[in-house]
Structure 1
Amino acid sequence: MKVKVTGIPVNDQEKALKFYTDILGFVKKVDVPISADSRWLTVVSKEEQDGTEVLLEPSPNHFEPSKTYQKALFDAGIPYTQFSVDSVQKEYERLIDLGVEFSVVPTAMGTVKIAVFNDTCGNNIQIIEML
């Protein structure tokens, strides 16, 4: 078994697509309409275009428990997921220059360094560097 797709709930798919591609640097992989206001919309790492796809899932708009869970995580400052980077400090500086808001600045924690930012679509996302 291996992970092919993992989902992140987003409250606006178009806004999420712009953030995840234009700001974070992911590449759009699949974009298929599934209803009048929803798409099967995935992005992948530019460095691993055949790797795991991130589904920008509109579930908060269609399933109230998902919306409640997403908001509770966000309000508590808990990241919905994490992405690996080579250098948290360099990525932090790059994203700050692009106007991304961080709730946790680069912080060493044992064998890792982390930072947490707002993806503008209802989620805290953590970036992590193995030290």
Structure 2
Amino acid sequence: MSTTPTSRGRAVHLVVVPPLDARVPGPRAQRSAASAAGTGAGVRHQGMPERQVLRLTRRGRAAAVLLAGGIVLGGVLSAQSAAAGGPQGAVPVSAHVVRPGDTVWEIATSVAAPGEDVRDVVARIVELNGLEAGGLQVGERLVVPVG
């Protein structure tokens, strides 16, 4: 390293770096040379990094086992919940033609069984007919559940 004065009076430190070919090989290069000579497990090609073996600590192995167990447990639990639901039974229905002034609530009230919540019947009518918030059209045919 040498010191060179500048025009402003401050010193600038210059460092000479040897070219890559002239550098002294470190431990990694020595391992690479050993593997290229046939004493190591892999062959190192020019420009390719040396293949290294993954080594896990005891804590790392425990974490890997717990992670794998969690994935398996999650898969088992989700498969059980997916298999629990099956197709619902057929709902007996009848047709209803919408008249002027009809609302879904009035139609649900007329077909609801005694003691049945009208809100549930309205929800079934909306679901069976794919109704949106746009309302009913006079002459439209609705499928309504039979009470």
**Which protein has the larger Cα radius of gyration, Structure 1 or Structure 2?**
2
Do they fold alike, i.e. is TM over 0.5?
no
TM bin (shorter chain): under 0.3
Structure with greater helix share of residues: 2
TM-score, normalised relative to structure 1: 0.20
Q: State the structure with bigger RCO (CA 8 A, min sep 6), 1 or 2.
A: 1
TM-score, normalised relative to structure 2: 0.18
